[in-house]
A and B are shown apart, each in its own frame.
Chain A
Amino acid sequence: MNAAIQASGLGKQYRRAWALRDCTLAIPEGQVAGLVGPNGAGKTTLLRLAAGMLTPTRGTITVLGQRPAAGPAQLARVGFVAQDTPVYSRMTVADHLRLGAWLNPGWDDHLARQRISQLALNPKQRAGSLSGGQRAQLALTLALAKRPGLLILDEPVASLDPLARREFLQGLMEAVAGQRLSVLLSSHLVADLERVCDYLIVLIASRVRVAGEVSDLLASHHRLSGPRRDPGTLPAGQEIITERHTDKQSNLLVRTDGPVLDPAWAVKPVSLEDLVLAYMSRAGNDRPASPQQLKAVS
């Protein structure tokens, strides 16, 4: 299977700070991939690199086999909805559709009009007076009607209320089902992605912590609880993501490709949200531990 996005050693530096580091990824084509991580983790940077808005400082990235924004043909294959779904506030909805038709050779006017009428948007209304949800839908319509092979959405639902959020994601899913389309969308909330994604990338503090198909991730992560024991005694191949110990008990979240055979453990499946939170809290522990923490562990 071809990769929708392939990155190798990708990094982006702004002045001094690295917004993204050592990012190596291969997101398969034809999937809805979710990019999740806390605010400021580098999600926007990764998406902008993929959309060709930014050029990498280090490493390489290819999108559908080519360098992002390499030319008009490559631009036509990638739809991008930036954060806060910007639209021209002084232009009408109809103006936006005209803009799309003028600037995209593969423009699907029928699809665009159909979506606008489904959404009950008034074509004569200025985009500046649309609600947040309507604006996001207009931006999505523009991106979909150019008939891209890959659709990139940066926090498309972050500023929407729960209803608009559900409608937006529903519209997105319908469009994906109708077109042969890969999607990469980001959110700082797992709940948004859980229902729509087949693939998940967890990005924390400018590094990719885990990436894979959602079903594989869920199958390979387990919550273990049992009598207190030294984490060093776990069999090889079981990687501890988080651990919590009381006097008598140990609670672990481990990653392993094989089954957990030790009968001392009670094994429970993890939810996607637990999994992401586990990686987030582990990333927090990467920081040098304070003396107090060291004492607590020993």
Chain B
Amino acid sequence: MIRLSMLQLRVQAITAAVALIAFAVLLAATGPHLASLYAASGLRGCQPASCGQRANIFLQQVDSTGPYAAVYPLSIILIALTPAVTGLFWGAPLLARELETGTFALAWSQSVTRARWLAVKLTVGGLAAMAVTGALSLLFAWWAAPLGRAAGLGGSGNSLAMNQFNPLAFATHGITPLGYAAFAFTLGVTAGALIRRTVPAMAVTLAIFAALQIAMPLWIRPNLFPASHTTVAITSDTTLNLFTTDSPHTFTFTLATDGLAGQPGAWIRSSGAADAAGHPVSTVVPSACSPAASSSGPGPALANCLTSRGIRIAVTYQPASRYWPLQWTETGIYLVLSLALAGYCFRRLSRLS
């Protein structure tokens, strides 16, 4: 039975192997040079004070040399799309095509029970889908390691230095791609078992998978662990915005920050003006600070004045140490969903004509 499912996956496997090899060649051709740029940047063993600056210089250098600025987003897109592609083209037809063309009757009249037939097909296909996505993400992790280290050392303000919690970065690094691949595959198989036609099953698979991939970073992932809260002083890194109002000499302001001192790589969920206890404060500029606001706008004078009035920034965030717990939890959720769908497929198949 294993040999049969491999025979049936032959075309898909060859396609995947070709794509994988092409990707590996691209990364192997550019990776060593990227590593040598990193070695030359002096980032290894840098003094903490100079690391951020050196990291930024390195990232700018990478951004402007060679194909890296293109390879990086291309790889991310490829890894993000692969689970969907394997779910659509491997998962959805797995049962739908057999049911559509009637070949299930040929398969089920061999001396192999239906349950075993499905178990082997699910295992072989599912593992293959996970292996392809896993291999892509491992190759990319190797290639992008210098960029990740630079980002970790404080490099920012560059599309190559994504925060590790950035939705695209989180979904293409670590172990989450494996969970996505397993889920998209079993989702495709289930859709095929229910709809019994390949093309509609592919469409439904895509719609549900895409919806979950959007819902996950927006609404689910941030709430998997209770967020941490802190208040920090307004600094030069704070984004301070000033707005005029209808009444003269009255302004409103907003405060925001995209990083926390001493917490590199933290995932900032929200930030805003608050008092020392973290309670939100009025966003109307206090009258004492109005002169500073009207004379020099949202500058250091206003920032100092707000600070002197006890105004700080309340930050809701996930510390960087939550990265792996979140990776494991999210992957676990997808794997449990995959198992549940697979279980449903067995039930469905035992009752199917």
Contact = CB atoms under 8 A, between A and B. Distances in A.
Given A86-B101, A99-B7, A102-B3, A54 B353 contact: yes
Max count, chain B CB within 10 A of own CB: residue among A52, A81, A88, A90: A88
Given A53-B108, A53-B353, A99-B7, A86 B113 contact: no
A91 B8 CA distance: 8
B296 to A, nearest CB: 73
B47 interface: no
B36 interface: no
A106 B112 CA distance: 12
Interface in B90-130: 101-103, 105-106, 108-114, 116
B111 A53 contact: no
A91 B7 contact: yes
Contacts of A53: 105, 108-109, 353
A87 B102 CA distance: 8
A98 B3 CA distance: 9
Nearest to A73: B111
Chain A interface bracket (under 10, 10 to 19, 20 to 34, 35 or more): 35 or more
A196 B3 CA distance: 38
A89 B3 CA distance: 18
Interface in B315-353: 351, 353
B351 A146 contact: no
A69 B1 contact: no
A88 B106 contact: yes
A86 B102 contact: yes
A86 B111 contact: no
A55 B353 CA distance: 8
Interface residues of B, number: 21
B351 A104 contact: no
B4 interface: yes
A103 B8 CA distance: 14
B111 A72 contact: yes
A89 B101 contact: yes
A139 B112 CA distance: 17
Given A72-B112, A146-B111, A102 B105 contact: no
Contact of A75 (B4, B105, B110): B110
Given A72-B113, A146-B110, A102 B102 contact: no
A74 to B, nearest CB: 9
B109 A51 contact: yes
Nearest to B3: A102
A183 B112 CA distance: 21
B103 A88 contact: yes
B223 to A, nearest CB: 42
A169 B106 CA distance: 20
Interface in B248-284: none
Contacts of A100: 110
Contacts of B3: 98, 102
A86 B105 contact: yes
Contact of A55 (B8, B111, B113, B351): B351
Contacts of B11: 90
Nearest to A96: B106
B111 A105 contact: yes
Contacts of B111: 72-73, 75-76, 103-106, 146
A99 B109 CA distance: 12
Contact of A103 (B102, B103, B110, B114): B110
B12 to A, nearest CB: 11
Contacts of B101: 86, 89
A100 B106 CA distance: 10
Interface string B1-30: 101100110010000000000000000000
B187 to A, nearest CB: 24
A91 B111 CA distance: 19
B116 to A, nearest CB: 8
Given A102-B3, A103-B1, A86 B112 contact: no
B109 A143 contact: yes
Nearest to A106: B111
B108 to A, nearest CB: 6
Max count, chain A CB within 10 A of own CB: residue among B109, B112, B351: B109
A84 interface: yes
Interface string B214-249: 000000000000000000000000000000000000
Contact of B109 (A79, A84, A90): A79
A99 B4 contact: yes
Given A53-B105, A53-B353, A82-B105, A95 B110 contact: no
Interface string A45-82: 00010011111000000000000010111011011111
A83 B8 CA distance: 22
A85 B103 CA distance: 9
Given A51-B109, A73-B111, 6 more contacts: A53-B105, A72-B116, A75-B109, A82-B105, A87-B103, A105-B111
25 contacts: A48-B353, A52-B108, A54-B353, A55-B351, A72-B112, A72-B113, A75-B113, A76-B111, A78-B109, A79-B109, A80-B109, A82-B106, A87-B106, A88-B8, A89-B101, A90-B11, A91-B8, A95-B7, A100-B110, A102-B3, A102-B4, A103-B110, A103-B111, A103-B112, A105-B111
Interface of A: 48, 51-55, 69, 71-73, 75-76, 78-84, 86-91, 95, 98-100, 102-106, 139, 142-143, 146
Q: What are the nearest 9 A-B pairs in CB distance?
A: A82-B105, A103-B110, A86-B102, A80-B109, A76-B111, A104-B111, A75-B111, A86-B103, A103-B112
